[in-house]
Amino acid sequence: MNAAAPRPSETARADRVELILRSPAATEALACWLAPRLAAGDWLLLEGPLGAGKTALARALVGARLAAAGAPAEEVPSPSFTLVQTYAAGGLEIRHADLYRLGGPSDVAELGLDEGAEAALTLVEWPDRLGPLAPARALRLTLAPDPACDARRRADVEARDPRHAPLLAALAAAAAAEGWAG
């Protein structure tokens, strides 16, 4: 069994896949799995408490896309203070936003995340600040610490847009094929 790989729990629905990430390396493995499967116009909303691994997942995803595009490696800092960082991965713009310091949708509107979003991959930490501005077509990934083990995280990947059904099915199949079932 690959210790760095995400492990799904026994619960999976057509619109959601539940995983157990047994280490920070497993969080990175999930990000690397998702990276080539997300495209321009996609939004990945990263939810969870402080320290759940949202920034680590975003950092690994951006790094994987940069590497796949042959772009030079870049430092991928948390955008906690800049609010939005952008990266060019080949012909794809990646926007990484951290909305933690914002009060709500009126503050978010000023960032203009929706402007040109169809041509970019948008990663958003603390998406609750988006309120009604959150795209209905977004893929949601919720990370939560496992109370039984500090290094372990639960990850729920959820989609309400039917166009993400193949992605969730592929994630569930990949996890099952690797023997990651809990």
Residues 92, 121 contacting (CB under 8 angstroms)? yes
Q: Is residue 156 part of a domain?
A: yes
Domain that holds residue 165: 15-176
- What gap in Å lies between CA 57 and CA 53, rounded to an integer? 6
Task: Specify if 1 maps to a domain.
Answer: no
Q: Are 88 and 79 in contact (CB under 8 A)?
A: no
CATH number at residue 70: 3.40.50.300
User: In the 8-state DSSP scheme, what is residue 21?
Assistant: E
Contacts of 120 (CB under 8 A, 6+ apart): 40, 41, 86, 92, 93, 94, 95
pLDDT in tens, 44-101: 999 999 989 999 999 999 999 999 998 888 888 787 778 988 899 989 999 999 999 8
Residue 1 has pLDDT above 70, yes or no: no
Task: Report helix, strand or coil for 20.
Answer: strand
CB 74 within 8 A of CB 66: yes
Residue 74 counted as domain residue: yes
7 domain residue, yes or no? no
User: Given CA atoms 171, 20, 3, 24 in this order, what sign does their dihedral have?
Assistant: positive
Could you read off the pLDDT of 99-148 as tens digits, one per residue?
A: 998 888 888 888 888 888 888 999 999 999 999 989 999 999 999 998 88
- Dump pLDDT digits (tens) for 138-178: 999 999 998 888 788 889 999 988 899 999 999 988 776 65
Examine residue 6 and state whether it is found in any structural domain, yes or no: no
Q: What average pLDDT score do residues 1-30 get?
A: 67
Q: How many domains does the chain have?
A: 1
3 has pLDDT over 50: no
Residue 149 lies in a domain: yes
pLDDT in tens, 26-46: 889 999 999 999 999 999 999
CA 142 to CA 48: how far, in whole Å? 6
Instruction: Identify whether 181 is part of a domain.
Output: no
21 in a structural domain: yes
